[in-house]
Amino acid sequence: MEGLRRIEVDARSGALRLVDSKTGESIRPTGRRAFDVLLDALSRTNSDFVFPSPVEPSKPYRGLPKAFKRIVSAKLPDLTPHKLRHAFASAAEDVGLSVPTIGALLGHADSGVTQGYIHKVDPVLVEAANRVADYIARSMSAKASNVIPLKERRA
């Protein structure tokens, strides 16, 4: 996210079109709630980066690991971005998504060579990302009375 560029945010499709990731070019469907945060960030800057450096807006923000630790450590000292990724996968399983769908949401490379030829964002994956994001938001909301809490899972 630190290096996410404005041109990689595809609001029309509800996905990020990453130019460079661990697996090369990648399309990542993104839930509405997360997308709203990205669009809000975009509206606050004219930088090429979604999250620009506060000191030099022509460069990306580079303090995410320290910021994450500072923001989260007071209440959840053992939480890491990787554990959040596991929690996302667990929530996706809780809402009934298949293992291949969860893998696609996480950007796993096992989807094969065919993905390299497909440039359209799969609306099923966008809806899957929305279902997981909505489930997590409801689980976190103190107002939700009919939501089963996220299951505790071992990493």
pLDDT digits (tens, 9 = 90+) for 14-26: 889 988 877 678 8
- Residue tagged 């065919």 (tokens): 114
Whether the per-residue pLDDT at 151 is higher than 60: the answer is: no
pLDDT digits (tens, 9 = 90+) for 33-56: 888 988 998 898 899 999 999 999
User: Structure pTM?
Assistant: 0.64
pLDDT digits (tens, 9 = 90+) for 136-150: 888 888 454 554 555
CA 83 to centroid of chain Cα atoms:
13
Whether the per-residue pLDDT at 108 is higher than 50: the answer is: yes
Q: Pick the more confident residue, 100 or 111.
A: 100
What pLDDT was estimated at residue 25? 82
Average pLDDT over residues 121-147: 77
Phi, psi dihedral angles at 149 (to 5 degrees): -60, 155
Q: Is the dihedral of CA 36, 41, 43, 44 positive or negative?
A: positive
Distant-in-sequence, close-in-space partners of 153: CB < 8 Å, separation ≥ 6: 86, 87, 90
Round the average pLDDT of the chain to a whole number and report it.
79
